[in-house]
Structure 1
Amino acid sequence: MPTGPSSGAPHHHRLPDVRPLDPLRSLKTKLGVLVVATVTFAVFVTWIGLQNQFGPTRTLPLAIFLSLVITQILARGMTSPLREMTAAVQAMAAGDYSIRVRATSRDEVGQLAEAFNVMAADLDASDRVRRELIANVSHELRTPVAALQAQLENMVDGVTEPTPAALELSLEQTERLTRLVTYLLDLSRVEAGASALVLDEFSVGDFLEETAQAMSMVEAAKGLSYVVDVTPPDLVLEADVERLRQVVTNLLQNAIRHSPHAGTVRLDAYPVDDEVVIEVSDEGPGIAPEDRDRVFERFTRATGTSRQPSTTGGTGIGLAIVRWAVDLHGGHVQVADTNRGATMRVTLPAQARPAPGVTTESET
């Protein structure tokens, strides 16, 4: 947490910003020390003047003046964080979230300064996320829209014939747009805190087979093979089917995006104690170790030597939605260690144990 002088804040001080009272833990104690110090100093100056044959008409005004100077200097150090916060708030209103205040005191003002710095850091992070979201979404929307527009213009102008292959290319761009809109709608639910689950008990094998078959029809261009292996075959799970379908679909789309042509995507499921593990594996370049803890953060894509964002076409949203949906169920998701490709491992309680605050209802 930054505790030095604020960066970018104005420093037009007529009096020095000294803080000898910073070690004191209470503002009331500081005020008491300030009063005692100024009164004692005034009495001492008056006594010195009288000892040197100066009358009260000269010693008393001098004592009052010097006491006021000391009070101003000490009070300025006590209230300096408040002035810095005022300047920082004005800078934030203009869009600058980089300013931090100097939080060195231990009293209530110092605690307020520390809390202010935390808030400023959070706002700075949120602003960066907002800018990244605008950049990512703008790029992801522009690419399929431009391609779709060019294809349709060529057909309208007679440059190309509306053959099945040309129409298929247009359909792929439309599907890409649909996926992006779906991601954004899911993200809005995350931001709104939507946390209701409709619980039902279902066969994991049938569920994975249906999801893989649906994805294979949509993403048929790469000629991928889908292998579903559930042990035992009658494995069941209690969860929100639609939320879990959202999880597996996003993981499959991620695996398909990084898989080589004619590669294999595996879906494995097996029990561990009172939990069910679902794994989605691909034969792609894998995920660099330094990226594994952050790929589930919003708007984050792998930037290591493995999966490059320039070739993935991902939005950085899908895996964040996966973690959100898994968290709702009281489970967790991670990138498993593998020798080849990438394996996304989802662990869920076999009997539903939703996260605190999540409302549930049973499927009727």
Structure 2
Amino acid sequence: MLAKLRIGITAKLFAAILSTCMLVLVTMHWGVRLSFEHGFVDYIKRGNEQRLILLANALGDEYQQHGSWDFLRNNNKLVYNILHSLEQNPDANAQLPPHGWRTPFWIIDRQSTVMIGPRTPLPPESSRRSITTGDGTVVGWVIGSPPERLTRSADINFDQQQRRTSWMIVGLTMLLAALVTWLMSRGLLAPVKRLVEGTHHLAAGNFTSRVEASSRDELGRLAQDFNRLASTLEKNESMRRAFMADISHELRTPLAILRGELEAIQDGVRKLTPQSIMSLQGEVATLTKLVDDVHQLSLSDEGALAYRKGHTDLVPLLELASGNFRHLFTQHPLTLTLSLPQQAAQFGDPDRLIQLFTNLLENSLRYTDPGGTLHITLLSSSDGNLLHFDDSAPGIGDRQREQIFDRFYRADASRSRASGGSGLGLAICQNIVEAHDGTIVADHSAAGGVRITIHLPSKTH
């Protein structure tokens, strides 16, 4: 049972803070007690020393009046009257603490004979004040015992009362500290508990979970990061589901066509002719292109797509890629024009850059209406190279412009695969550009179509 008992972080924080408060309170209590006891004893000691001085002066005056000590021997009442007069004297009372003498004292003559006081040996560390006459002659001494500890019942009761009060204050302070510590620990750990609960929801697959960021401290920033993480996971999960749905849809159509044609040939509805074989090969080529695109996209997403970067020139790469498409553009028919500088130095992978240009040319070939145009512009500067691919109608809307680089997205959902492609070409283009630390954006073209703008920064390594 005890092995299964788990102490939460709230209880641990509460115990840590409360134990620290208790240690501080107990230490302060004992420090105050020691200071009070020593200070109280020193206070009594100073009062006794003042009384010794006053009593010695009073006895000196009495001795000078009587001429001997006969009036004082065994006359305790006279000494008490003198002490009482000292207490009643306003001038003396201002210098003395209350409650009178607190330790034994002795009065001895010049022969060290005890005249007043207990008939016990004089303490070795006693306070001694000489009794002198007007001409300075020493006629005796007043001796007081040092107050090493409290002896009077009134002082002991006062000390005990202070001790009880001190412990009561410590107890009440501990209760208050426990209450404040409990509230503080719950308040401080409330954001942590919300994060823990949110993490459990994420671990269970609930990516819609969010936590409240109610502060601007480290916990508040952690809650904000948690919400961003949950949002990213939710987006990735949505993209994963959409990707699986899209790829299954893309594979279903050519497979259905292949199955239908093969069944038709098998049932004898359609004869096995060169034309039917070419149709089957076309569907197989479509499947092959789709699988290759998915493979290329997965490699670029994982960073496993090989890039062999080096110093190259974009001008011959663009000329090579556009040359491969001139015959297709002529058949469509579309007009392909280029505005290129003499050279455009770039640090990158020539093969991947040609793949980038090929995908953009193929995208314009598929989506531009017959009789349209595609104009490629390359601007080279010290900051890098800027490319514009401007084609003619049809164009795209603002919402489509933001989604054009998404996987399996086609601006015209009604287009068939033959005209619309797999919808992965621009997503692969985006990964290639980002691998070269560049940017690619889509905008409206002045010719009525789409303008794809690519910026590739100039780097030497």
By the TM > 0.5 criterion, same fold?
Answer: yes
1:77-123 per-residue CA deviation (whole Å, 9 max, x = no partner) reads: 22122222222222222210111112213343333222222222221
- Where in structure 2 are the equivalents of 1:186-335 lying within 5 Å? 186-194=296-304, 196-199=307-310, 201=312, 204=315, 207-208=317-318, 210-212=320-322, 214-215=324-325, 223-225=332-334, 227-232=336-341, 235=343, 237-238=345-346, 239-260=348-369, 262-274=370-382, 275-296=384-405, 298-299=406-407, 301=409, 307-311=411-415, 313=420, 315-335=422-442
Are 2:345 and 1:345 aligned? no
SS of 1:343's equivalent? Answer: strand
Distance change in 2, residues 1:265/1:166 (3 Å): farther
Structure 1 unaligned spans of 5+: 1-26, 40-54, 355-359
Aligned position for 1:144: 254
Aligned position for 1:180: 290
- Cα distance in 2 between the residues matched to 1:78 and 1:310: 56
1:51-71 per-residue CA deviation (whole Å, 9 max, x = no partner) reads: xxxx99999888766654543
- Cα distance in 1 between the residues matched to 2:216 and 2:318: 57
What TM-score do the two structures reach when normalised by structure 1? 0.67
Distance change in 2, residues 1:177/1:108 (3 Å): same
Aligned position for 2:278: 168
SS of 1:197's equivalent? Answer: coil
Q: Is the 8 A contact 2:340 2:379 kept in 1?
A: yes
Q: Which has the higher Rg, Structure 1 or Structure 2?
A: 2
- Cα distance in 1 between the residues matched to 2:331 and 2:197: 57
Aligned position for 1:20: none
Q: Is the 8 A contact 2:321 2:357 kept in 1?
A: yes
Distance change in 2, residues 1:203/1:110 (3 Å): closer
SS of 1:268's equivalent? Answer: strand
Q: Which has the higher contact order (CA 8 A, sep 6+)?
A: 1
Aligned position for 2:233: 123
- Cα distance in 1 between the residues matched to 2:262 and 2:373: 33
- Cα distance in 1 between the residues matched to 2:386 and 2:218: 49
**Which structure's residues are more often helix, by fraction?**
2
Distance change in 2, residues 1:246/1:267 (3 Å): farther
Aligned position for 2:160: none
- Cα distance in 1 between the residues matched to 2:330 and 2:290: 19
1:286-308 per-residue CA deviation (whole Å, 9 max, x = no partner) reads: 12134334423x42736xxxx33
Distance change in 2, residues 1:67/1:188 (3 Å): same
What TM-score do the two structures reach when normalised by structure 2? 0.54
